[in-house]
Structure 1
Amino acid sequence: MIKTEDIINIASYFTIVAHSPGRLRVRVNPKIKNESNNISIEDIEQLPNKIEGIKNIKINKIIASVTITYDSKVFNPQIWEDLINKRNLDEITQIINNLAKEVM
């Protein structure tokens, strides 16, 4: 099971490529492979089933990008910017925990 702290850690490897309300595309730093946790790509792809407001996560391994579609009424677009830039993490943790179906 993926934890909120894992989501925050994973996001630290992202750089925003494009962002419009409801759709976020990020480039993934290859150093994420050195991460010593037990989070799989499948865990990440299953986040829409575990967090209300995330509609879909599409991972493109070839170009090292992730596209996240989300409900911008549930997740203010600024939250994504803050998450990736490591700002307001306490607030983001609280929001994720409140929206979580299975995330701990």
Structure 2
Amino acid sequence: MIKTEDIVNIAKYFTIIAHTPGRLRVRVSPKIKEEKGNITIEDIESLPQKIKGIESIKIKKIIASVTIIYDPETFAPKLWEDLVQNQNLEEITKIINNLAKEVA
């Protein structure tokens, strides 16, 4: 299971390729493989079922990119940029925790 801290931690391996409100595409550093923990690709792909406002996540392993489709009314585009730049993390953590869905 992925935690909010895990999301914040793996975001440091992302670099924004393209970003328009509602769609974020990031490049993933190969250094993510060195990350300690039990986060799987399936954990990341399941985030839309766990966090309101994230509609879909597509991972392309061959080109090391991730595309996130999100509701810009729920997640302001600046929050995504702050997350990738490792800024404003306390506010981002609060927002993610408030939007976490109850998972049975």
- TM value normalised by structure 2: 0.97
User: Where in structure 1 are there 5+ consecutive unaligned residues?
Assistant: none
Q: Distance in 1 between matches of 2:56 and 2:26?
A: 14
| 1:16-59 CA-partner distances (Å, limit 9, x unpaired) | 00000000000000000011110000000000000000000000
What is the CA RMSD across the aligned residues, in angstroms?
1.0
Q: How many residues in Structure 1 have an aligned counterpart in Structure 2?
A: 103
Q: Distance in 2 between matches of 1:8 and 1:102?
A: 20
In the TM superposition, structure 1's runs of 4+ consecutive aligned residues that sit over 4 Å from their partners are: none
Aligned twin of 1:27: 27
Within 5 Å, give how 1:1-104 maps onto structure 2.
1-102=1-102
User: Where in structure 2 are there 5+ consecutive unaligned residues?
Assistant: none
| 1:52-104 CA-partner distances (Å, limit 9, x unpaired) | 0000000000000000000001000000000000111000000000000158x
- TM value normalised by structure 1: 0.97
Distance 1:78 1:43, change over 3 A: same
